[in-house]
Amino acid sequence: MKTTITHHSKLYSIDLSKPLDISIPLRASKSNVNAWYIGEPTMEPVKNKEWIGSVKAGADVNFNNICFNPHAHGTHTECIGHITEEFHSINKNLQQFFFTAELISVAPENYMKDTVISKKQIESLLKGKTPEALVIRTMPNTKEKNSRQYSETNWTYLTEDAMVFIREQGIQHLLIDLPSVDREHDGGKLLAHKAFWDFDGERRMHCTITELIYVRNKIKDGSYILNLQIAPFENDAAPSKPILYKLLE
């Protein structure tokens, strides 16, 4: 279904029948993607005396309790409340859901014992473009990202100056296929998070970071419209389902 949308007084043509889902689904399995040293998510029927909330067990409906952590168990979108003493809700801070977006693929650089994404790389790949949202696919890109156990792997992270550059370009929403934009063990510095939200300056309350996405290889680098869908949780972060739409000529 081809349609034209108006966004900040500009017209964009997209095909709503061809969504490109870049989220990782949540599964009650040890093979579910995981980070931050906790167990897998669980989905279990409610048990109330002799009643079990499962059609297979004789109930009229399936009625499951779900236990998971949005930061550890799949694609999630977080607001500045993730790193503030005061409470801020992603459901309150994110009030618009369609954005211009640029997808780039980055092969991380070696830095001491780490691998990082640098300012130079981001600047080179953006080629002067200033989208509202930046989607970063790290290379190599394999399906194993859907089930990777990230704890104690010292994953790739963004350097502080890379994130300052992203902020200075006016990018409001950052999406990446890693469990964090910061180093796994950084002593609580959170340099990339703080740089993105301008934590020590004029805090960017409406801006978001989305982590643990997965962008299939058949989705090409370039310009898109992003629909950033979140579950309406009053929490610093919520499970999310970012969808890209290719721009049509």
Is the residue at 92 inside a domain?
yes
Residue 54 lies in a domain: no
- How far is the C-alpha of 182 from the C-alpha of 220, rounded, in Å? 26
> What is the per-residue pLDDT for 1?
81
Q: What tokens does 50 get?
A: 């002799």
Question: For 89-144, how does the pLDDT look when each residue is reduced to its tens digit (9 = 90+)?
Answer: 999 999 999 999 999 999 999 999 999 999 999 999 999 999 999 999 999 999 99
Residue 54 and residue 64: Cα distance in Å, rounded? 8
pTM: 0.97
Task: Check which CATH number belongs to the domain holding 155 and give it.
Answer: 3.50.30.50
Rounded Cα distance, 199 and 249, in Å? 39
Whether 242 is in a domain gets the answer: yes
- What band does 244 get if pLDDT is binned at 50, 70 and 90? very high
Q: Is residue 179 part of a domain?
A: yes
Q: Where are the beta strands (DSSP E) in 8-92?
A: 10-15, 20-21, 42-45, 47-48, 51-52, 64-67, 76-78
Q: Is residue 201 part of a domain?
A: yes
188/186 Cα distance (integer angstroms): 5
- What is the extent of the structural domain holding 106? 2-25+70-246
Residue 40 covered by a domain: no
Q: Please state the domain count of the chain.
A: 1
Q: Which amino acid is at 144?
A: E
**Residue labelled with tokens 């997965």:** 214
- 5 pLDDT band, cuts 50/70/90, is confident
Tell me how many degrees the CA angle 98-123-186 measures, rounded to the nearest 5. 85
pLDDT band at 191 (very low <50, low <70, confident <90, very high): very high
In angstroms, the Cα distances linking 141 to 137, 170, 178 are: 7, 27, 11
- Look at residue 48 and tell me if it is in a domain: no
Whether 56 is in a domain gets the answer no
